[in-house]
Each structure stands twice: as C-alpha cells, then as structure tokens.
Structure 1
Amino acid sequence: MKVLVIGGGGREHAIVHTLKKSPKVDHIWCAPGNGGIAQEAECVAIKATDIDGVVAFAQENQPDLVMVAPDDPLALGMVDALEAAGIRAFGPRKNAAMIEGSKSFAKDLMQKYHIPTAGYAVFEDSAEAIAYIKEQGAPIVVKADGLALGKGVTVAMTEDEAIEAVRDAIDGGAFGGAGARVVIEEYLTGPEVSVLAFVDGTHLKTMPSAQDHKRAYDHDEGPNTGGMGAFSPSRFYTEEVAQTCMETIFKPTVAAMAAEGRPFKGVLYFGLMLTPKGPKVIEYNARFGDPETQAVLSRLDTDLFDIFNAVIDERLHEIDIRWTDNAACCVCMASGGYPKAYEKGKEITGLDDVDGSFVFHAGTAVQDGKFVTSGGRVLGVTAVAPTLEEAIRKAYTDVEKIRFDKAHYRTDIGVK
C-alpha cells in the first residue's frame, strides 16, 4: 500500500515514522516533508496548503490513502477536494474542521449542547471588546478566532495586557484575518490535559493523555509557542476523570457535530482544564496535536494504517487499539528567538550521538549532506521508558548531545 502524508513538521515525522512500521505500507510520500522525514519517506515539493497540487499528485501517483495532518489544509477543504476526485483521505471535511478553524463556532457549539467550557463573549469591534474586559477584569483570556499557528492566545494577567492583545489582533492585524474577530474567555484554573481521539463520525476511541508546554521559557513564562514539549501520560488524568470527560465532553462533542450535519472523521483533539468544578474544554483541534503526537504515537502498539482505514470506513468500534504501558517525553529544540524572529541555516551536529531517544525533525533541511535548521521548532527529542521520570531523564540526556547555534529548549518539560 502507498500512503501520502501532508505536512512537514514534527507531527508529520511521527506519523510517517509510525506508518512505516506497518507491514501493509510499502511506500510513503510526504508533502512537503523535511530533512528528517526524507530519511524515511519520499518528500514531494508541494506546499501543505496547495490543494490543487496535492490532488494532481494523488491522481497521478494513486496513493491508497492520503493523510492530511495540518490544520490549514483541513480548514481549506483538502479532504473534500481529495474525496471529490475519488481519492481516499483521512481527516475531517471542511465543515467539520470548523471546530478548530473558528473558536467562536466551537464556543457556540459547546454552549448549545451544554458541553462544559469557560464563559465567553465574541467581538469584532475593539472598543466593545475593551469595554467588556474592563467590565470583567483580569485575569482574562483573549483568543484570535481563526487559525494562528498556536500563537493567537493571550492569557492576560492584567487588563492592560488583555487590551493590548485585542488591539494587536483586531486593529493591528497581528494574525491577519484570523484575528479580525476575538473570543474573550473567563480565566480558568487547574491542570491542563490534552486528550486526542480517533473519531469515525459516530464512534470515538481516545488515545493516552498528554500534557503540552505552550510557553517559550521555563516555569511557563514567555510568549505562547506552537509547543515546546509534551509528555504522556498526564499525572492528573485518572480513570475517574477520564470517565467524566467521556460522558460530559467527548461523546457529547461527537454527537453535537453529527447533529449539526458536520460529522467529524479523523483525529479530534480535546484541550482540557481540570478545574475545581470539573473538566472543561479550553480548545478543540481538528487533527493530531504537535508535539503531543510525538509522545503519544511513540506508545502505540496497533497498526496506525489499520486505524486510519477503520476511521474512514466508519468501523472504528470494530478495531482493538492497544497502547504500551509506559511513558514518553518529547523535548522540542527551537531556534533562538522563537516564536519571534529567528535565523535559519544553522548546522545541526550530534544527531548520531543520540542513544535511547528518537529525534523527530520539525524544522530541518539537508544542505551539502548536512542537517541545518529551517524553522522555529527544529527537533523533538522523544524518549520512551517504563516511568515518566526515566523518560524525561533519557530525553534530556540526548538533548544535551545535539548542537546548533542559538539552540533553545525548556529544561522543565514533564515537571509540572
């Protein structure tokens, strides 16, 4: 079987690496891929958002399955276009990807179907938003409504910070069209947990819990990033919490999307806050999270290709998905300055010295036979071990062997 994976980051490397283990998969393309993915798949120079280019490639090369991983092409309708061309595709259609593509849509859905989430209001006028902030007080959360590469959220501890976030988004165009509308939310407290689930429109099966680290610096300080590391499982996600989430959040969300005529098929990501009043939804993603995927898929003990096909064929309830009884830690190594301005083209050394972890490439390229940096998040050093503490130790032991100019990483992944 031949598979085409769309995307070029650490998440896609993890998906390619996991699919490669399947005895049924004998060829993988990745568009556009990266330097590390090129060691495991045939990279194709097509942008992840080039729907026409991807469809044309698929029509010519006839993959048995196309896996659309990133948020942008899903929101643009790549799965719809592939299906219209008679090509088998994994991922939600455009009308279902809206659950991530518009935060206001997601909030309205939760309100309508009584799915627990933070109180909120939606604004397109900055003056009205600022008046609301002054009325509510801080701390408060400001979110760009659309897709903003994981950077459109401001957890404002002061009113001034929240007001600045509103002005940057609506008046300053900091996130382009994605920030023309903002969602202002109640500030919630409690441990954060990420739970990803395979969904076939009707049924869902959750993956092991994970925890992401969004802030750029240690102790959850600095600006939000796409994610500086993740670990699995969460220390706070007990069987009792899992059961509560299943009955009050997971099943109701899948049923709500079906009731709205937007059946969700693919991977649905639940970003949760375990508040003193119970679990609440912070956000949905319409795809595998990054870098949670690197940690979670490292624990998968079932053929991922089989799972993808079960989702597409709406027979997820028939497949037994197994996970290893261990823990995983992924530490992201980023370019200096990320998530703001950073330099590219820095040579990466020490990769051959890594022993015990797997290095997923996110922002790398190959120049003159050497790996160089080509993005903000560069590598995801991921270790699996019987205990979380051991996985953390193994990952950091290998992180310290890797070098590139101005390399930056958090030293506290897995501690919280």
Structure 2
Amino acid sequence: MKKNVLILGSGGREHALAWSFSNDKNVDKVFCAPGNGGTEEIAENIIVNLANHQEILRMAHEKKIGLTVVGPENPLADGIVDVFRKEGLRIFGPDSYCSQLESSKLFARDLMAENNIPQPLYYSCNTRKDVETLKEILGLPLVLKADGLAAGKGVIVCKVEKEYKQALKDIFEDQQFGDAARRISLERCLVGEELSVFAVCYEKDYIVLNSAQDYKRVFNEDKGPNTGGMGAYSPTPLSTPQLLKRVGSEIIQPVLNAMFERGHPYTGFLYAGLMIVDGNPYVIEFNVRMGDPEAQVIVPLIRSSLFELLWNTTEGKLMDTKVRTSSQVAVTVVLAVEGYPGVYDKGMKIKGLDGLKGRLVFHAGTRRQGHDIVT
C-alpha cells in the first residue's frame, strides 16, 4: 500500500527529497512542513513551527503519515525523533542524544578521541583568554568553531592575524553566534582536500550513498565568509573504493559502535565532513542529516527507491535493501540574494526560472506570492 510522507524543512535539501518521493511508486502523497515555493509545485506545504513538536505530531496523525523524514539539524537536536518514537510514529533520523554529534562540536570531538577516530588536534575553550593563550602557544593557522549549532556558519578559519582578530571580535564582542559559542573548539588547521561522505545507518549497519564536495565561501576563489554552501558536485575523484572502505572502517563504523554501546543506536543519515591529508581521512565535522546543497546532487544520482531505502531502514532491514546509483556526475550551483549570508532583502521577485527547462531547479527558502516566486 502506498504511504504518505512528511518532510520537515524548507531548504533545497527538502525540495530534492520531495522531488524523489513525488516520483516514487511507493508514495501516495508528499507533505512538506513548512516547505518552500518549489515544493509547493509537487507537494502540499503545511505552515508549521518546527519547534512545536505537538503540532507536528497532530499533523502527522491528521494526514495519516507513514514516514516522516527530518531535513534540518535543529528539530533533530531538539528531540523530534524522541517524541515521534514515544508516540509510535515512524520517523527517519537520529535521537537527540545521537544528534549531539552535530549539535555539539566538542561532544563529537571527545567521542572521536575516545574511539581513536582520526581528527585534528583540538582544545576546548570557555573564554577569550583560553583562545588567546592557546593561540600564543600554537600559532596560526587555527580553526575556531562554535560548539553549538550556528546554521553552518559557526566555523572560522584563521590563517593570518587579521582573520584571527576578526574572529575574536565576531565571537566574543559582537556575539554573532550567541549561545552556540559559549564553548569554542579550537583546532589545528589541516591542509588537504575536503571530501564529504554520506551514509544511511541503522544501529551498527550502514550503506554509503555517495561522496560530494561543497563550497562554503560566499565568493569565488574560496573567499568571503562561510555560508550553508554555494555549490556542490558528486561524486568526487577523491572517493576511490579504497578510500571509502577506509572511511567506513575507520570513521563510520566506530561511531555507530560507540553510540550502540552508549544505549543510543544510531538511525538516520550520517554525513562525515573530511579532510584528506596525504591520502588519509581526518574528520572535520559530523552532521546527522543529509547535506544542503549536497542533497541536491546526491539524491538525483540515486536510481533505486530512496523511499524504500529509508522505510526499510526504520524497519531494521537496511542491509536487505539494494541501492543503485548512477555512474554520472551531478553539479549544483546556488544562486543567492546579494548580502547573503548576512542581511539580505526578502520578498524580491525571482525571474528566469522558465528558461531552465531540462535542468533540475531546487528551491531554498523561497515562497510563492501570487504567480511569482520571491526570496
């Protein structure tokens, strides 16, 4: 019997998931909460506050949702999966404890240290003085990371003194990251090539979906502040079968084993953000959901049923599921309003979408205003 699917979120990632589910023979109706101007064309958008778990529960019952898929990190960190499981509702994603792999950089760093997972040297800092003292000892380059969630923008790479001083101002004087920066993970800056690996996980089992590389800086030539991502491509030349095997055995498997042993078996997407240095993978960060914009290149390359994969995973049948991916390459370019990731105008009409026939266009944070799509 066909199932109704609920997708939580409003980004390009959620549009990509909705696109996949809306074309799946196993799916009846797709609902997006709150969705965006793009998802409205292929799914039913429902305006809801993602922090209101009881309202989402009510909606899931009302719409007879068979499977809920969580897009962004905040609902996962806030415990939406815990709430759904307590109600006996099927949901794809890790619980709030496991979600600390993303919601607390230092939780993740400490777990990796305990389990000998390769990562850069790191220090936990509570004050500006802690940071300044370590900087005098270690020198530059360094990476400063807000411990908590900061919409993908809480990482500052300090290669030169000017960048370091600006980082101190942003974090401690202007408090740009608020409570997320109550603690700072100060890390050695690794020099290599970035690689993201995405897996679907159930307890101690996992299947690697694909690899991708995204581009965080807002301007060309890797300049400007970090964003949620300005583009991505998949797969990457770095992700040889040999390297992916190492990522699985040295990184993904130990994380799943650790969570299982702590009494919180991991179910959901696991996104390992890596730096490859001299052929060796080191963990830069973990995310507990599909990436955005990486989902926009990974999802279209999946040739088997993504819905079936996620459904079977929640039933404990992950390893019985066949996953087929295309041998092609996918590229996405993010178009953003001038001013992003800072202050930017909203309600601006987006033109030219009709001229993109034959290409997939995924929306992020847009909305419909009459017949127009606006920022």
TM-score, normalising length: structure 2: 0.97
In structure 2, the residue corresponding to 1:357 is in which secondary structure?
A: coil
Cα distance, 1:86 vs structure 2: 2.0
Tell me what 2:181 maps to: 179
Q: Cα deviations across residues 42-79 of structure 1 (Å, max 9, x unaligned)?
A: 00000223222211211322211111111000000001
Cα distance, 1:261 vs structure 2: 2.2
* Residues 194 and 271 in structure 1, CA contact (< 8 A), matched pair in contact too: yes
CA distance in 1: counterparts of 2:368 and 2:8, whole angstroms: 19
CA distance in 2: counterparts of 1:207 and 1:103, whole angstroms: 24
Tell me what 2:297 maps to: 295
CA distance in 2: counterparts of 1:5 and 1:50, whole angstroms: 15
Q: Cα deviations across residues 299-320 of structure 1 (Å, max 9, x unaligned)?
A: 0011111111121112211111
Residue of 327, 332, 343 corresponding to 2:329: 327
Cα distance, 1:171 vs structure 2: 4.8
Tell me what 1:31 maps to: 33
CA distance in 2: counterparts of 1:100 and 1:156, whole angstroms: 22
Tell me what 1:264 maps to: 266
Tell me what 1:110 maps to: 112
Tell me what 1:133 maps to: 135
Runs of 4 or more above 6 Å deviation: none
Q: Cα deviations across residues 96-131 of structure 1 (Å, max 9, x unaligned)?
A: 111101000000000000000000001111111211
Gaps of 5+ in 2: none
* Residues 210 and 231 in structure 1, CA contact (< 8 A), matched pair in contact too: yes
Tell me what 1:230 maps to: 232
Cα distance, 1:167 vs structure 2: 4.5
Cα distance, 1:159 vs structure 2: 4.0
Residue of 276, 283, 286 corresponding to 1:284: 286
CA distance in 2: counterparts of 1:169 and 1:77, whole angstroms: 27
Aligned residues: 373
In structure 1, the residue corresponding to 2:361 is in which secondary structure?
A: strand
CA distance in 2: counterparts of 1:187 and 1:290, whole angstroms: 24
TM-score, normalising length: structure 1: 0.87
User: 160-169 vs 330-339, which deviates more?
Assistant: 160-169
Residue of 203, 206, 209 corresponding to 2:208: 206
Cα distance, 1:254 vs structure 2: 1.4
CA distance in 2: counterparts of 1:239 and 1:5, whole angstroms: 32
Q: Cα deviations across residues 147-174 of structure 1 (Å, max 9, x unaligned)?
A: 0000000010124533442453245421
Determine if the alignment matches structure 1 residue 310 to structure 2 residue 312: yes
Tell me what 1:367 maps to: 369
The one-letter code matched in structure 1 to 2:278 is: P
User: 205-214 vs 249-258, which deviates more?
Assistant: 249-258
Task: Report the RMSD for the aligned CA atoms in angstroms.
Answer: 1.2
In structure 2, the residue corresponding to 1:306 is in which secondary structure?
A: helix
Gaps of 5+ in 1: 374-416
Cα 1:220–1:111, aligned 2, differ >3 Å: closer, same or farther? same
CA distance in 2: counterparts of 1:127 and 1:89, whole angstroms: 43
CA distance in 1: counterparts of 2:18 and 2:316, whole angstroms: 23
**Equivalent residue runs for 1:55-74 within 5 Å:** 55-74=57-76
In structure 2, the residue corresponding to 1:55 is in which secondary structure?
A: helix
User: 264-273 vs 156-165, which deviates more?
Assistant: 156-165
* Residues 124 and 170 in structure 1, CA contact (< 8 A), matched pair in contact too: no
Determine if the alignment matches structure 1 residue 78 to structure 2 residue 80: yes
CA distance in 2: counterparts of 1:318 and 1:239, whole angstroms: 21
Tell me what 1:195 maps to: 197
Cα distance, 1:249 vs structure 2: 1.1
Cα distance, 1:345 vs structure 2: 1.3
In structure 1, the residue corresponding to 2:272 is in which secondary structure?
A: strand
The one-letter code matched in structure 2 to 1:75 is: A
CA distance in 1: counterparts of 2:169 and 2:364, whole angstroms: 32
Tell me what 2:54 maps to: 52
* Residues 32 and 43 in structure 1, CA contact (< 8 A), matched pair in contact too: yes
Cα 1:260–1:169, aligned 2, differ >3 Å: closer, same or farther? farther
In structure 1, the residue corresponding to 2:360 is in which secondary structure?
A: strand
* Residues 137 and 159 in structure 1, CA contact (< 8 A), matched pair in contact too: no
**Equivalent residue runs for 1:390-401 within 5 Å:** none
The one-letter code matched in structure 2 to 1:138 is: L
Tell me what 2:257 maps to: 255
In structure 2, the residue corresponding to 1:237 is in which secondary structure?
A: coil
CA distance in 2: counterparts of 1:120 and 1:277, whole angstroms: 21
Identity, in percent, stands at 39
Give the structure, 1 or 2, with the largest relative contact order (CA under 8 Å, sep 6 or more): 2
Q: Cα deviations across residues 337-369 of structure 1 (Å, max 9, x unaligned)?
A: 101111011111221111331000102111121
The one-letter code matched in structure 1 to 2:199 is: A
CA distance in 1: counterparts of 2:168 and 2:103, whole angstroms: 19
